[in-house]
Amino acid sequence: MLIKAAARLGLLPPYLFAELDRVKREVQQTGVDVISLGIGDPDLPTPGFIVEALKRAADDTANHRYPDYQGLDRFRAAATGWYRRRFGVSLDPAREACALIGSKEGIANFATAVVDPGDIVLIPDPGYPVYYSGCVFSGGEAYFMPLRAENGFLPDFGAIPGEVARRAKLMWLNYPNNPTAATVEPEFLRQAVEFCLRNNIILAFDIAYSEIAFDGYRAPSVLQIEGARECAIEFHSLSKTYSMTGWRVGFALGNAALIAALGAVKTNVDSGVFQAVQEAAIAALDADDRTVREYCSIYQQRRDLMVGALREIGLECAPPRATFYLWAKVPQGYSSTSLTEQVLRRAGVVITPGSGFGKCGEGYVRFSLTVASDRLQAAVERLRALRL
């Protein structure tokens, strides 16, 4: 029998990274010690007190059963409590919060919850690929909002045609941003809320990097903006803040009807977050921010090391105020993929082509600061020797 996958899988973009993976294996086979600055996955370990909380909770047989779909009451209270201390806004843990099996899960399922076939979804370009997958899986039509350097990598709401705005059901925004590392001030979020309320658009804000910030920058939340609770939902993750990418835990906060719609999808496709993981997440959210600050200062040192080195070798890159990424312009004569391939073949360093995040990412590459400084230093030396 000939197996034919669903047509929707054909709507996903070709996997740009497959070719890079092939070249990476080829380079490794020649004996090169490849340094990967490709993936955004923290090398720093999950803080010990969180691991200990998991160990204790894993021994409790009450945690071996199916968890609550929306998350333990105590988990949701810990999430809204953390949110109130951090952002100064009180939310109802019972109606305005929902546990997620990592925020990627929530982001993908949210499209199923609110997008009907033919609806337009406004998606930043470049952007995290899951916004687009969720859109096409639910039959939506993507409209890409270009993020350009001259606008500080913010979308220009005024450039969205009236007809598109009228048909749009959902808008995705993500700040601090992956992959551009751009940040926003509350005024931009105010404009976003105003645009969405005026056009009846649901605003989904991905805030996975809110705590990875430097130089005193404090990332704003969209739910701090007046009127946002009428139209907005926000996706938080423990993955980057506490180096917990493998644990799969995050949470959504915001408009109660949007939380309920997302919960209705989740009730039908998953059975919640392992309760022992929720207990560990509660320990993380209830703790002071000492380890978070310590980790940020490590990322900041790496950032300064790398930005300086990249500039010396002709890769223009502004030091970001948040995230553990550097978004660098490729030098004259290269494209995103040709530079990426050169750097991999000739220096044994993996970086990510900006074009992998969308058309407007062309002309840029992303460096992830998720390797120890000595490896980063080694990568810098190899890049220097390249004489691009």
Ligand X SMILES: *Cc1c(COP(=O)(O)O)cnc(C)c1O
Residue numbers of the site for ligand X (CB under 6 A)? 40, 102-104, 128, 174, 178, 206, 208, 237, 239-240, 245, 250
DSSP state of 46: P
What sign does the dihedral 17-241-135-268 (CA atoms) show?
Answer: positive
CB of 147 to ligand X, least distance (A): 13
CB of 23 to ligand X, least distance (A): 24
The residue length of the chain stands at 388
What is the enclosing helix (H) or strand (E) of 237?
A: strand 232-237
CB of 56 to ligand X, least distance (A): 23
Task: Tell me whether residue 72 or residue 108 sits nearer to ligand X (CB atom).
Answer: 108
CB of 209 to ligand X, least distance (A): 7
What is the secondary structure of 253-277 as a DSSP string? EE-HHHHHHHHHHHHHH-----HHH
Contact 30, 346 (CB under 8 A): no
Task: Tell me whether residue 211 or residue 347 sits nearer to ligand X (CB atom).
Answer: 211
Closest CA to 371 of 44, 24, 25, 28: 44
Contact 15, 355 (CB under 8 A): no
Rg value, the chain, Cα: 21
d(CA 199, CA 227): 14
Residue entry with tokens 């720093």: 44
CB of 366 to ligand X, least distance (A): 11
Give the chain's end-to-end CA distance (angstroms, integer): 51
CB of 127 to ligand X, least distance (A): 8
Task: Tell me whether residue 128 or residue 188 sits nearer to ligand X (CB atom).
Answer: 128
Residue entry with tokens 């001259």: 150
Cα three-residue angle 355-361-366, rounded to 5 degrees:
80
Largest CA distance in the chain: 61
CB of 87 to ligand X, least distance (A): 18
Residue 102's alpha-carbon distances to 34, 191, 245, 334, in angstroms, are 29, 28, 8, 36
Residues paired with 233 in a beta bridge = 204, 254
CB of 377 to ligand X, least distance (A): 25
Task: Tell me whether residue 165 or residue 253 sits nearer to ligand X (CB atom).
Answer: 253
